[in-house]
Amino acid sequence: MGSCEKPDVAVVSSKGQVVIPQRIREKLGIGPKSKLLVYGHQGAIIMKKLDVPDIAKELEALYKRVDKRMAKYGELSEKDINEIIQKYRRKKARLLDAQNPPRY
């Protein structure tokens, strides 16, 4: 969020629900079932849109990498498969770290 925009007022319902103004939802691409990281910081409520990955697509990409490697090098050992999985997990952890701001 670079520049400040004109603020809107949101009202908390009796169930604790808050409606995010349409203008903001559209700008940030927030729709039904969108996930938001919510935390309190210095008297403010901060929300950040989380881009939750499509696990099926990620698994398909992982399988393609394994298939590609098998086509190039032949059968993979258990060690090779574990290395591919560990590499994937490290990449995933870096992406999650980049998405989640530090909490104070």
Task: Clarify whether residues 43 and 62 are in a common domain.
Answer: no
Residue 45 falls inside a structural domain? yes
- Helices 78-99 and 55-73 pack at an angle, to 10 degrees, of 140
Give 21's contacts (C-beta < 8 A, 6+ positions apart).
8, 10
Q: What is the pLDDT of residues 10-68, one digit of tens each?
A: 999 999 999 999 999 999 999 998 889 998 989 999 999 888 777 888 888 888 888 88
Instruction: Identify the helix (H) or strand (E) that includes residue 23.
Output: helix 22-28
Assigned domain for 19 exists: yes
**Distance between CA atoms of residues 77 and 70, nearest Å:** 10
Mean pLDDT of 67-95: 84
Q: Which domain holds residue 71?
A: 55-98
| CA distances for 19 relative to 29, 61, 104, angstroms | 15, 36, 26
Identify whether residues 59 and 48 lie together within a single domain: no
CB 25 within 8 A of CB 36: no
Number of folded domains in the chain?
2
| pLDDT, average across residues 3-8 | 74
Span 63-85, average pLDDT: 83
CATH (domain of 28): 2.10.260.10
At residue 102 the predicted structure's pLDDT band, cuts being 50, 70 and 90, is low
Check whether 96 has a pLDDT greater than 80: no
Q: Is pLDDT of 1 > 50?
A: no
